[in-house]
């Protein structure tokens, strides 16, 4: 299985109402400094018809919606998270309530 498949499988496993970070996904696949790789893998999904991968549940290390510009509008990512009862503190997800850390892969 290639790295993009591993990343996509982790994102599919994020429960509704939870988020994880690019860095946590990178650590789970053994690429500790691979947060950008995770971003590229999710960007590839954003420009496809793959609706089975809930990319809206991946945020940056501060809980900010850094990927929001890759959705239909800049507001879709937050709207989807709020529909799952994810709470925000200002413009960032409340990570103390909603952070999900993926298990190590492999």
Crossing angle of helices 3-13/35-46, nearest 10°? Answer: 80
Count the neighbouring beta carbons within 10 Å of the beta carbon of residue 89.
11
HSE of 52, CA atoms in CB hemisphere, 13 A:
5
The answer to whether 83 and 45 have CB atoms below 8 angstroms apart is no
Tens-digit pLDDT profile for residues 64-74: 999 888 888 99
Catalytic residues: 55
Ordered by start, the domain boundaries in the chain are 3-98
Q: What is the CATH number of domain 3-98?
A: 1.10.10.10
pLDDT of residue 67: 87
Phi, psi of 77 (to 5 degrees): -60, -50
Tens-digit pLDDT profile for residues 20-65: 999 999 999 998 789 999 999 998 887 666 778 999 999 999 999 9
Count the neighbouring beta carbons within 10 Å of the beta carbon of residue 61.
12
Question: DSSP string of 4-61?
Answer: HHHHHHHHHHSPTT-BEEHHHHHHHTT-TT-HHHHHHHHHHHHTSS-TTS-GGGEE-T
* Report field, pTM of the whole predicted structure over 0.85: yes
């Amino acid at each position: 299985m290639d790295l993009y498949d591993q990343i996509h499988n982790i994102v599919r496993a994020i429960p509704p109402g939870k988020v994880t970070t690019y860095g946590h996904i990178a650590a789970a696949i053994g690429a500790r400094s691979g947060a950008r790789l995770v971003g590229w893998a999710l960007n590839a999904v954003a420009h496809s018809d793959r609706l089975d991968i809930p990319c809206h549940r991946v945020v940056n290390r501060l809980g900010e919606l850094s990927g929001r510009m890759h959705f239909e509008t800049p507001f879709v990512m937050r709207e989807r998270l709020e529909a799952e009862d994810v709470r925000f503190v200002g413009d960032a997800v409340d990570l103390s309530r909603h952070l999900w850390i993926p298990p190590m892969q492999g």
